[in-house]
Amino acid sequence: MTTIAEFMTAKHGACDDEFAVAEENALDGNWGKTETAFNAFHNGMAQHFKIEEDVLFPALASAGGPSGPVQVMLMEHTQIRGLLDEMAAAVTEKNEQEYSGLSETLLIVMQQHNHKEENILYPIMDQILSKEREALFVRMQAI
């Protein structure tokens, strides 16, 4: 059976792929394709955060898991959402320089964030939530 870490890491990869497509098109000045790819990336990130915030984090808390790592992730989600909002505005304005700068910042933040989730938080979840994993997957896939 797939682990939470494997499932969520695959979600990170899918978001990373959309991010790269959007950035490539922005650098090429193809704003139609940039907007399409950025929207797919933005929606993927929103879905990813919803899975974590509505399913995984509450399940971990109710199972007595550590709250510190979750609080850090929630703060970083807020930071990432702010960057995404600024990037959306840069796409609307077709502002390559603004988009590029925000994209660089977001890439660093996402890499650090994903590393913490993939190497610390998700393995903790797999250990603590192992008995309810099937039910969690049903809820995660419904989002």
CA distances (Å), origin 110, targets 12, 39, 45, 93, 116: 9, 17, 10, 24, 10
Q: pLDDT for 99-141, tens place per residue?
A: 999 999 999 999 999 999 999 999 999 999 999 999 999 999 9
Distance of CA 37 to the CA centre of its chain: 15
> How many structural domains compose the chain?
1
At residue 1, does pLDDT exceed 90? no
Neighbours of 78 (CB within 10 A): 10
What does the pLDDT average to over 55-65? 96
pLDDT in tens, 2-52: 999 999 999 999 999 999 999 999 999 999 999 999 999 999 999 999 999
- Residue 129 to residue 60: CA distance in whole angstroms: 7
Name the residue with tokens 């603590």.
128
User: Residue holding tokens 């988009």?
Assistant: 99
Q: Between the CA of residue 131 and those of 4, 32, 49, 108, 137, what are the distances in Å? A: 12, 46, 23, 34, 12
What CATH number has the domain bearing residue 123? 1.20.120.520
Kindly state the average pLDDT of the residues 67-74: 94
Domain that holds residue 18: 4-141
pTM of this prediction exceeds 0.95: no
Count of C-beta atoms within a 10 Å radius of residue 19: 22
Q: What percent of the chain has pLDDT over 70?
A: 100
